[in-house]
Amino acid sequence: MNQKYNILLVEDDARIRSFMETVLTSNGYNVLETDKARTALSMAASHNPDLMLLDLGLSDMDGQQVIRSVREWSNMPIVVVSARGHESDKVTALDNGADDYVTKPFGMAELLARIRAALRNSSLRQNSSGASGTVIRIRGLMVDTEKRIVKVNDVPVHLTQIEYKIVALLSCNAGKVLTYDVILKEIWGPYASCDTQLLRVNMANIRRKIEKDPSMPEYITTEIGVGYRMADYDD
């Protein structure tokens, strides 16, 4: 790891917190840790960490409120690590601004992969924020957001305007789950209907055009009841 990232770990279970801190440190991350939401908010403001790992079940404030509070002033990646496995909890966290959601119990290999994806996503957003466009490569998929070109294995893919917007949105957030509601509002506007049928129809068309086997998608996977996730960026 060329850059040593600072991670703010917010977890009220001392044993889990100690285990996660040990693994994160051994993988080259600097770790700041706390078991309190209000302390986490203070540390986020004063230390400006690169990413927050957040448990939702904190003693002094619900983690959902922490996400909303951070999003009022920061785009720092937030990966939720919680025992709450209901779809409604995941959707709420992601709609509030979390970048990803990992359900306990979890494997550290999976969590480390989610952390890397969130950090890469954040870096891409920062690097492209002042540019008119960027080229995104995900396995054999190439999305040129300046020329509005999509190719799979160097073969141009002809997408409708809406299909292109969906692919570009997911590609710019590769590795991150986007909820149905977020996609609908980004593509069709803030007053878009919450009916996901139109999105599902467009997604089916997109998969027919970019996937080798639409029934087993390689690029865009469905998080059932939550939304869609584009495969992670190429290293």
Predicted pLDDT at 132: 47
Q: What is the mean pLDDT of residues 194-213?
A: 91
Q: Where in the chain is the domain with CATH 1.10.10.10?
A: 131-230
Interatomic CA distance for residues 235 and 203, integer angstroms: 26
Predicted pLDDT at 193: 66
Give the orientation angle of helix 180-188 with respect to helix 161-171, to 10 degrees.
130
- Determine phi and psi for 8, rounding to 5 degrees: -95, 115
Interatomic CA distance for residues 6 and 125, integer angstroms: 18
Predicted pLDDT at 174: 87
Four-way CATH pick for 6-127: 3.20.20.140, 1.20.120.80, 3.40.50.2300, 3.50.50.60: 3.40.50.2300
Provide the CATH number for the domain formed by 131-230 in this structure.
Answer: 1.10.10.10
Pure H helices in the chain: 14-26, 37-47, 63-71, 87-96, 108-128, 161-171, 180-188, 197-210
Global confidence as pTM: 0.75
Predicted pLDDT at 1: 46
Predicted pLDDT at 130: 42
**In the structure, what pLDDT confidence band is assigned to residue 154 with cuts at 50, 70 and 90?**
very high
Predicted pLDDT at 134: 80
With a pLDDT cut of 90, the percent of the chain lying above it is 69
Task: Determine the longest span between alpha carbons in the chain, in angstroms.
Answer: 54
- Determine phi and psi for 231, rounding to 5 degrees: -55, 160
**In the structure, what pLDDT confidence band is assigned to residue 131 with cuts at 50, 70 and 90?**
very low
CB 125 within 8 A of CB 175: no
Predicted pLDDT at 128: 52
Q: Where in the chain is the domain with CATH 3.40.50.2300?
A: 6-127
Interatomic CA distance for residues 196 and 135, integer angstroms: 29
> Does residue 155 have a pLDDT over 80?
yes
**In the structure, what pLDDT confidence band is assigned to residue 129 with cuts at 50, 70 and 90?**
very low
CB 174 within 8 A of CB 117: yes
Specify the 3-state DSSP secondary structure of 4: coil
**In the structure, what pLDDT confidence band is assigned to residue 13 with cuts at 50, 70 and 90?**
very high
- b/e per residue 160-175 (b: at least 16 CB within 10 A): eebbbbbbbbbbbbbb
Q: Which helix H or strand E contains 53, and what residues bound it?
A: strand 51-54
Quote the mean pLDDT of the chain: 89
Q: What is the mean pLDDT of residues 18-39?
A: 96
Cβ-Cβ contacts under 8 Å for 223 (sequence gap 6 or more):
90, 177, 229
Specify the 3-state DSSP secondary structure of 57: coil
**In the structure, what pLDDT confidence band is assigned to residue 29 with cuts at 50, 70 and 90?**
very high
Q: What is the pLDDT of residues 69-106, one digit of tens each?
A: 999 999 899 999 999 888 899 999 999 999 999 999 88
Predicted pLDDT at 197: 87
